[in-house]
Amino acid sequence: MVSIIEAECVACGACVDVCPQSAISVDDVAVIDADKCVDCGACVDECPSSAISE
């Protein structure tokens, strides 16, 4: 599963917009719902601060 590097996340929401499973929410940082995530990697490519890793 992909994971958020909290120290790098700027809570921009770009990952939320591209997630086909609606598995990501953003408050202070992005949070990935492991039950919904299918490891497609769309969020990794979209993150402008490289805060999501595979």
Q: In the structure encoding, which two tokens stand for residue 4, read together?
A: 């958020």
**Could you read off the pLDDT of 5-21 as tens digits, one per residue?**
999 999 999 999 999 99
Instruction: Answer yes or no: pTM beyond 0.85.
Output: yes
Q: What residues contact 53, with CB distance under 8 A and at least 6 apart?
A: 2, 3, 5, 44
**Could you read off the pLDDT of 32-42 as tens digits, one per residue?**
999 999 999 99
Q: At the top level of CATH, which class does the domain 3-53 belong to?
A: alpha beta
Report pLDDT for 17: 94
Burial per residue of 7-25, b for 16 or more beta-carbon CB atoms within 10 angstroms, e otherwise? eebeeeebbbebbeeebbe
